[in-house]
A = this chain, B = another copy of it.
Amino acid sequence: MNDNRPVGVFDSGLGGLTVLKEICKLLPNENLIYLGDTARVPYGSKSRETIIRYAKNNIKFLSSHNVKMVVVACNTASAYALPELLENECPVIGVVEGGVEAALKYGRCKWLRVGVIGTEATINSMAYTNELYKVRPGCKVITKACPLFVPLVEEGWVDKDITKMVAEEYLASFRGEVDCLILGCTHYPMLKGVISKTVGKQVRLIDSAKQTANLVKMFLLKHGLIKSQDSSKGEIKFFVTDSPKRSLEVSNRMLSGINLKYSGLVDIGP
């Protein structure tokens, strides 16, 4: 059984392109549609109700493009909205599950000690903590919201002394206390160098993009939804809700080697 419909991927902005890239590498034949809600970014400082409303808007838009499944490539939306989105007709997976699975791989021992960092909303949602407790009751979880990390990445200050000081402020209490650290925001992998130096090199840093791509593949295989493998290379469509000028620069930088076709500015409010 084959299914040529596209896989939909959305994020509050462009960070989710890291997830799109991994899906594209693992499943190069699949057609993909990306939606970046750049007119309403960021989600991480907004309320649960608003995040759920935005996520539903995004899924409605992707559904209108006849997607066979939706990947919520945004930690904040995954953390808050996923339970609400599962009622949807279209299958939906988020990035929390992938992050947690990857953490379990690196900590097979009983006394798993995991750190989680993310936006204020992601951390307040307790989504990672609850998911970890569910699969590994009794594990130790330490969490911390790091709201300055995203603007530092966007300023391009990934290796400045200022960034090291901010990392020290947020992460000093993780040192010696965790064996792995879930980077619960798609921007954070850009700060891997500084984060690793701060928490110690023995702490594994977990970026859920690859694991999420694996989950997408497993889901498509399990449900007979894979696109015909002898078909041509997949097409990637790219939509944003704010003016595309800056988005196209960022996306080309982030997706080096992967061609995506800018498909339009969409209005998905309110």
Q: Interface residue count for A (Cβ, 8 Å)?
A: 30
Q: Is B151 a contact of A242 with CB atoms below 8 Å?
A: no
Shortest distance between the CB of A131 and any CB in chain B (Å): 24
Q: Is B154 a contact of A243 with CB atoms below 8 Å?
A: no
Given A165-B161, A270-B270, are A155 and B147 neighbors across the interface (CB < 8 Å)? yes
Q: Is A148 a contact of B151 with CB atoms below 8 Å?
A: yes
Q: How far is the CA of A48 from the CA of B47 in the complex (A)?
A: 25
User: What is the total number of copies of this protein in its complex?
Assistant: 2
**Which residues of B lie under 8 Å from residue A38 when comparing CB positions?**
46
Instruction: Check A92 for interface membership: any CB of B closer than 8 A.
Output: no
Give A150's nearest chain B residue, CB to CB: B151
**A interface, by DSSP: helix, strand, loop or mixed?**
loop
Q: How far is the CA of A267 from the CA of B57 in the complex (A)?
A: 14
Q: Which of A144-163 contact B (CB under 8 A)?
A: 147-148, 151-152, 154-155, 160-162
Instruction: Check A220 for interface membership: any CB of B closer than 8 A.
Output: no
Q: Which of A13-56 contact B (CB under 8 A)?
A: 38-41, 45-50
Q: Is B154 a contact of A162 with CB atoms below 8 Å?
A: no
Q: How far is the CA of A166 from the CA of B161 in the complex (A)?
A: 10
**Which residues of B lie under 8 Å from residue A147 when comparing CB positions?**
151, 154-155
A-B contact pairs, 13 of them (CB 8 A): A38-B46, A46-B243, A47-B243, A47-B245, A47-B246, A49-B243, A50-B243, A147-B154, A162-B169, A267-B270, A268-B270, A269-B269, A269-B270
